[in-house]
Amino acid sequence: MDELAILEQAKSYRTVERGTMLAEAGEPLDHLSSVVSGCATMSRSFADGRRQMVGLLLPSDFIGRPGRAVSPYNIEAASEVTLCRFERRTFEQLMDRSPNIAHRMLVMTLDELDAARDWAVVLGRMSAREKVINFIVNLARREAAAHDGTVAEGPVQLHLPLSRETIADYLGLTIETTSRQFSALRRDGLIETPSAREVRIPDFARLALEIDDDDGGVIS
């Protein structure tokens, strides 16, 4: 556990405001970090303006990969974000010496891999409505996991850390379609929207039911 003590000592914190680019696709990234609070997005853009998010980075998520200097994606703060950072070299040296940390990285990467593949299922085969429900449900689950454990099966309230445009780029939809789906869910009584960034779910089980009898999806 000596290594963890060294890591502990080597870390530094940094807080950035919304809109800050934490990494540019194809550019070197000399720090590894983990998200402490806030939300960042990983995305790729096309020359013609199309954009697709490939993942959300929420508290406890890891940014950057050991042994890879270059980020293949744009990473941008979607809200104010606080990071816990390590210099890449320091981290890599530690990993070389500690099978423990290396093993932990492998487990983490395997989890991310599953999440990325589940994401492909959502993008490839779900309707706009299902995508939006999936997004809300997973965000709620993720939030709950950070605190206690499971989502309460009664009413749940949650704050959306992303704008409609960002959600749209995440779900592979347009901003208008995304907005319309939120409105439709409101009409159906599945959600309430005290404000655009706030969602209240009166009956979480009922909402989750719309996607879970088919198949689950994953958010990050």
Binds 164, which of DNA, a copy of itself, none (CB < 5 to 8 A, cut-off by type)?
DNA
**Cβ(217)–Cβ(119) under 8 Å?**
yes
Taking the complex as a whole, the smallest distance from the CB of residue 162 to DNA amounts, in Å, to 8
Q: In the complex with a copy of itself, which residue's Cβ is closer, 112 or 203?
A: 112
Q: In the complex with DNA, which residue's Cβ is closer, 63 or 171?
A: 171
DSSP H helices, the chain, are 2-10, 88-97, 99-125, 128-146, 164-171, 175-187, 204-212
Contact with DNA (CB under 7 A) among 2, 46, 127, 148: 127
Tokens of 115: 């999440």
**Cβ(73)–Cβ(23) under 8 Å?**
yes
* Sheet containing 192-195: order of strands: 156-159, 198-201, 192-195
Contact with a copy of itself (CB under 8 A) among 21, 116, 196, 209: 116
Tokens of 12: 């530094």
Q: Which of residues 49-88 bind a copy of itself (CB under 8 A)?
A: 50-52, 54-55, 65-68, 72-73
Q: In the complex with DNA, which residue's Cβ is closer, 83 or 132?
A: 132
**Cβ(22)–Cβ(75) under 8 Å?**
yes
Instruction: Summarize as ranges the residues that interact with a copy of itself (CB under 8 A).
Output: 42, 44-48, 50-52, 54-55, 65-68, 72-73, 96, 99, 102-103, 105-107, 109-110, 112-114, 116-121, 123-125, 171-172, 213-215
